[in-house]
Structure 1
Amino acid sequence: MKATVAMTFPGGVGAGSARLRVLDRSTWFAALAPALKRELLDRAVVRRCTARSLIYAAGSAPSGLYAVLSGEVRLEHSAKSGKFAFYQALRAGDFFGLLSELDQSPRFSDARAWSETTVLQLPHAEFQDLYRNSSAAREAFVALICENLHTTLGILVEEHSAPPRSQIAHILLMLFSREPAELREHLKLTHEAIAAMAGVSRQTTSKVLHEFRGLGLIAMQYGKVSVLDATRLRGIAEA
């Protein structure tokens, strides 16, 4: 299924101070030289995606580097067994799609707009031109893939060492802390999504979440979770 995109805006995005503020939430982007920031933004386009639409599909050819400006993007992957494995949620300021651009491999996962979402896209041709002809851009892209690798390794270590209660508490806190204050009331997150992120069964996830609700740490509605006591939840995450 193709991505459903409402509008595409070419060029000129460097003048948007609001977009710059969003992208500067990324420590990687914030550390770039001003000239390189301008170069990336001048070559990029802004795309508005409808809820549940595909930005790109697993197995497709590289289509560029992306950053979330608003909304939420979920990276989804299905194992050969057919088991669905949701493994990452991306929000404003997060970059994605770099690996396939660097090694020219097919996309590993689906990238899906989970809600009405706006993304910045550095198209494939523009990315490759920068990577081949700008040493500053090339070094920056390598630094970003290294940052992503460290993050992934950290998640794998946590998944294999922490008990389910700690993992799930950590996931809730991580997602809660990344949301703007006005959007924190309800995290749009299903039990299945939390289970996939934690690498545990849905049954285990449901048991832990109901325990947290009984302790007054969270509130739950269908498909949504509210964090009520971040301090006590952090104690469980760090135990």
Structure 2
Amino acid sequence: MSEAISFIPRISNGRWFRALPDGLRDALGEFAVVRRLPAGQCLFSRGDAPCGLYCVVEGAVRIGVVGANGKEALLGLIEPPNWFGEICLFDGQARTHDAFAERPTTLLQIPQAALLRLLDQHPEYWRELGLLMSHKLRMLFGVLEAHSLLPAAPRLARRLLLIAEGYGGASIGRRELNLPQEQLASMLSLSRQTTNQILKELEARGILRLGYGTIEIVDHAGLCDAAQNPG
């Protein structure tokens, strides 16, 4: 058994991968290459040529872009067992953002050429890749709507719920998030002070417990209520 195939059981609880046809799931395992990145290493940069589809097995990948002023806009953290990189598979164009290992990270990479050959042989599998992309598009619309219409506090609560649920990619929500407050603030375009104030208020209500670089969800129902209540 190859090392890549040995990792397949560890990502099998992911909703997208679990629902794939057997043939596609087996082919992804066959073509997969294991990539290991130390914390801070770049996986790909904005403008790079397409290099395939990825799945996070361990660790996390930070997706963002650095502006002309040197400030990074953090769009999200991709954690196990989520897949990413499919946009370039459809249009063949350059990477849209930077991807860095947030901490020591293990990934499965499905090389672009191998995946395109498979899709030429089995065009019906394009639908599954389309479902992966459409899920993220729906999620993006929700994030944009919240950013436009909701005050900071419910936006923050909604983002914590999204992260806890693996952005819809995992089958079971988590209680403890490895997420520094600076990164959460960057994701939401909030100041560090505003983010800390909201988190402290949620902690005082018994909804969260804050630690060094961690946020624990103590009361999931209470966090859901905070995400819906703008007042």
What's the TM-score, normalizing by structure 1? 0.83
Query: Which stretches of structure 1, 4 residues or longer, exceed 4 Å deviation after superposition?
Result: 177-181
State which of 65, 75, 79 in structure 1 corresponds to 2:67.
79
CA distance, structure 1, for counterparts of residue 224 and residue 197 of structure 2: 18
CA distance, structure 2, for counterparts of residue 122 and residue 177 of structure 1: 24
* Residue in 1 that maps onto 2:54: 66
CA distance, structure 2, for counterparts of residue 128 and residue 11 of structure 1: 22
Indicate the RMSD between aligned Cα atoms, in angstroms. Answer: 2.5
Cα deviation per residue 1:70-99 (whole Å; 9 max; x = unaligned)? Answer: 211111212345432111111111011111
One-letter amino acid of the counterpart of residue 227, structure 2: A
Cα deviation per residue 1:32-64 (whole Å; 9 max; x = unaligned)? Answer: 110111111111111122122111122211111
* Residue in 2 that maps onto 1:53: 41
Mapped contact 2:14–2:171 kept (Cα < 8 A):
no
Residue ranges of structure 1 left out of the alignment (5+ in a row) = 1-9
* Residue in 2 that maps onto 1:218: 208
Residue ranges of structure 2 left out of the alignment (5+ in a row) = none
* Residue in 1 that maps onto 2:191: 201
CA distance, structure 2, for counterparts of residue 216 and residue 113 of structure 1: 32
1:11 CA drift (Å): 5.5
* Residue in 2 that maps onto 1:139: 127
Mapped contact 1:130–1:138 kept (Cα < 8 A):
no
Secondary structure in 2 aligned to 1:189?
coil
CA distance, structure 1, for counterparts of residue 134 and residue 33 of structure 2: 25
1:180 CA drift (Å): 10
* Residue in 2 that maps onto 1:101: 89
How many positions carry a matched residue from both structures?
225
Secondary structure in 2 aligned to 1:62?
coil
What's the TM-score, normalizing by structure 2? 0.85
* Residue in 2 that maps onto 1:160: 148
CA distance, structure 1, for counterparts of residue 142 and residue 188 of structure 2: 13
Cα deviation per residue 1:188-238 (whole Å; 9 max; x = unaligned)? Answer: 222221122223333321221222233333233333222233332221112
